[in-house]
Structure 1
């Protein structure tokens, strides 16, 4: 992940990196459903995750991000699986501070490696 730019498509292999980065940036995992909708996942997909994991926020968020990284539902119409679309989704949720930290973190990671 470290060599990728904020526009490069992420994939399922980046799951733990995305989880760690969101945690580092202060994202509240309890907002996973809204994040999923804004990333392009369908309500029915998110409801199925909720039913499967019965309120286990960590697993629900992990599976939500996993679906996003696999580009299911309308993810490509919402910008695809990349840091830009993740940041845009966070901003649309009024999670501006998290989005800014995310942008700073991805830029720092790319600059450090180059």
Structure 2
């Protein structure tokens, strides 16, 4: 009888150990799946960060290019304003500048 009790206790212990092992294995699989999903999320975030950094670099380059073009246009505008002022003060051009346009040219301008 004592032997049967020992065998039953041993079987119960082995059964409970098997249950614990199966439970731990299921938990381990769940944790591995969660880790894989987290790693995928991190990879997606890293790709997004890289894309945003590249877009930022392009935007900064475009801004620098636009600022250079704006500065160039400002210089050209200033030069043309000076030229126009000089032409307004030039006595040889003044009668021509204030003369009315011929009818054909005035008609074209109105169109």
Per the shorter chain, which TM-score range?
under 0.3
Which has more helix, going by share of residues?
2
Q: Which has the larger radius of gyration?
A: 2
Normalised by the length of structure 1, the TM-score is 0.18
The structure, 1 or 2, with the larger RCO (C-alpha pairs under 8 Å, 6+ apart) is: 1
